[in-house]
A and B are shown apart, each in its own frame.
Chain A
């Protein structure tokens, strides 16, 4: 069970099967949704975009689909929350560990994080999702928020 993810995932900030032109667009869409719901300051989107340029968050997962986990400094965050998007056509993020390398990404989890210590479990759950190809595939195929919850409920 990915209880902490489910708890922090804002239902109105889950966009499934969307088409976007690039990574900036998907980060902006998700960030705006978190802003509308009071999770983040109005500086969050620009901060996340700028952080992505300097220190990208693309993660090659070794399978058919890759993910990115954009986030930024805590001063832009009001309360912790998560937004998620899946894209039918992948967009390019740069590789976190090797920024010169492009990673085609179909799953984006935008994280609004406060202090590290309080979110260890959620972060570990996210790592657990990234390491489970079945969950990744189910998230990519999800059509509704219920599908997402079901994918995250797999033990």
Chain B
């Protein structure tokens, strides 16, 4: 049995935006029956924390080639394209 998937949620300050995103992912993935653990961080910390994550979801640009899939989105804040992003997250976690 695989354990819960680890999602690193990044934004500028690790206080505001990533809080909304992390909560949004947790709720939506729970509805889809997928266990996830989220961890919030600042964009500047992503590089150091990427190796402990299965997926990175970020609202600000982060470095490329982290060795982990990265999804950049504002959907959890603005609602635009949210379903598509949730599908994308689900697909990335199943890989």
Residues of chain A touching chain B, judged by Cβ–Cβ distance below 8 Å, are 51, 54-55, 57, 59-62, 69, 71-74, 96-99, 111, 113, 115-117, 119-120, 123-124, 126-127, 130-131
Contact = CB atoms under 8 A, between A and B. Distances in A.
Given A55-B43, A96-B60, A97-B74, A61 B19 contact: no
Interface residues of B, number: 25
Interface string B61-79: 1000000000011101111
Contact of A69 (B14, B16, B61): B16
Interface string B11-30: 11111111110011000000
A138 B78 CA distance: 17
Contacts of A74: 13, 15
A74 to B, nearest CB: 6
Contact of B78 (A113, A116, A130): A130
A51 B77 contact: no
